[in-house]
């Protein structure tokens, strides 16, 4: 077995190692229950044979009107439409390198330092990818599900969910918003926080918020832009539970070490790789997005023309059943 920093290195064990550290970038969105897994997809996209795109069939609902049963009218055949969803694999890699000389003067253990941060590094990147996908699907495929608002009012979330999904609005469970917009809802006292017991045994507000009965994740990774006359324009995403299929895919070597004994007096690198599916329900990634590529960049994922609604070859599914909507809220300068 290879050794790393004079220690036995096990890539699989290392890849699963994680330690919580303080970080200004939050990752609550990817930890909120908006993901579900589908292990069957992993076997259809093996890295070793270069698989990067599949089409997942989706069964529609029975349709057609019944005829009058009167003994003289022929009974028509109904129809069961089938749809398909395009799903692609994405992959990223990163190396972390430390000179031999640095631990000699700092006393820090490179293996421990990197191991304590690399899992969170990838969680933050996965959230960046998730935001890129959201930007991409709302850029065209779901543009009708992005509702513009002026100012913050008590029923905004309910109103937007009803406008988008009507009687199916109860599918929305999680609101992802910037702290600047959260502050506006705090001002009108409609953003409420659950209570928790502190280490001192006192009851205090937690960081778990609720707005119109839905979980609120406050994260400054959420989009904000400058508007006219000093206004701020906040984009908040409202998601249904299991809105995304997230499935890790096989990587032949997820983590490994490499050593260059000469460079900079000797240095050791830890190389890590991730490959996975991140598929939004009801939206297809077009195969043309890959063209001559085997994987997509963050920029590719946020490109609107790479996405389309799931369809049967001609007709898309109803927007009412897609578990995504957005509030685009303009807050005037005070």
Task: Let me know if residue 68 belongs to a domain.
Answer: no
Task: Let me know if residue 72 belongs to a domain.
Answer: no
Place of tokens 């070597």: 253
Q: What angle do CA 320, 323, 328 make, to 5 degrees?
A: 90
Yes or no: say if 63 and 78 are a contact pair by the CB < 8 Å rule: yes
Q: Give the Cα separation of 163 and 176 in Å (integer).
A: 18
Q: What's the structural domain count of the chain?
A: 1
Give the pLDDT score at 28: 67
Which domain does 161 fall in, by range? Answer: 3-60+81-331
Give the pLDDT score at 168: 95
Q: What angle do CA 29, 235, 219 make, to 5 degrees?
A: 35
Task: Let me know if residue 67 belongs to a domain.
Answer: no
Q: Give the Cα separation of 151 and 231 in Å (integer).
A: 10
Beta-sheet pairing, 7-8 with 203-211: unpaired
Phi/psi at 100 (5° precision): -60, -35
Q: Give the Cα separation of 205 and 246 in Å (integer).
A: 31
Task: Let me know if residue 31 belongs to a domain.
Answer: yes
Give the pLDDT score at 2: 41
- Name residues of the chain where pLDDT drops below 70: 1-28, 30-31, 46-50, 59-64, 77-80, 99-115, 207, 264
Give the pLDDT score at 287: 92
Task: Let me know if residue 23 belongs to a domain.
Answer: yes
Task: Let me know if residue 122 belongs to a domain.
Answer: yes
Task: Let me know if residue 249 belongs to a domain.
Answer: yes
Instruction: Please name which of 280, 279, 276 lies closest in space to residue 249, comparing C-alpha atoms.
Output: 276
Whole-number average pLDDT of the chain: 82
Q: Give the Cα separation of 28 and 66 in Å (integer).
A: 48
Give the pLDDT score at 109: 59
Yes or no: say if 79 and 62 are a contact pair by the CB < 8 Å rule: yes
Task: Let me know if residue 66 belongs to a domain.
Answer: no
Instruction: Please name which of 326, 257, 284, 325 lies closest in space to residue 115, comparing C-alpha atoms.
Output: 257
């Amino acid at each position: 077995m290879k050794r790393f920093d004079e220690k036995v290195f096990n890539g699989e064990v290392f890849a699963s190692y994680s330690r919580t550290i303080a970080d200004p970038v939050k990752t609550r969105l990817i930890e909120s229950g908006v993901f579900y897994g589908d292990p069957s997809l992993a076997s259809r996209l093996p890295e070793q044979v270069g698989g990067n795109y599949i089409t997942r069939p989706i069964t529609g609902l029975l349709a057609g009107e019944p005829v009058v049963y009167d003994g003289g009218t022929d009974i028509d055949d109904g129809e069961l439409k089938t749809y398909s969803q395009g799903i692609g694999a994405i992959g990223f890699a990163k190396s972390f390198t430390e000179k031999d000389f640095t631990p000699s003067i700092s006393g820090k253990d490179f293996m421990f330092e990197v191991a304590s941060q690399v899992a969170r590094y990838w969680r933050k990147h996965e959230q960046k990818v998730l935001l890129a996908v959201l930007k991409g699907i709302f850029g065209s495929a779901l543009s009708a599900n992005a509702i513009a608002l002026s100012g913050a009012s008590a029923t905004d979330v309910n109103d937007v969910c009803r406008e988008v999904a009507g009687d199916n609005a109860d599918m929305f469970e999680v609101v992802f918003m910037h702290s600047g917009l959260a502050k506006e809802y705090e001002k009108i006292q409609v953003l409420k926080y659950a209570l928790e017991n502190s280490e001192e045994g006192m009851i205090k507000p937690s960081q778990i918020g609720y707005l119109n009965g839905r979980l609120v994740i406050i994260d400054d990774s959420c989009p904000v832009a400058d508007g006219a006359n000093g206004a701020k324009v906040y984009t908040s995403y409202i998601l249904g539970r299991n809105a995304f299929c997230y499935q890790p895919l096989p990587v032949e070597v997820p983590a490994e070490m490499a050593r260059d004994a000469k460079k900079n007096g000797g240095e050791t690198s830890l190389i890590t790789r991730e490959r996975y599916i991140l598929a939004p329900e009801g939206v297809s990634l077009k195969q043309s997005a890959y063209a001559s590529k085997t994987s997509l960049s963050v920029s590719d994922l946020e490109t609107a023309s790479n996405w389309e609604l799931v369809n049967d070859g001609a007709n898309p599914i109803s927007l009412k059943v897609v578990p995504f909507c957005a509030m685009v809220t303009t807050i005037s300068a005070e």
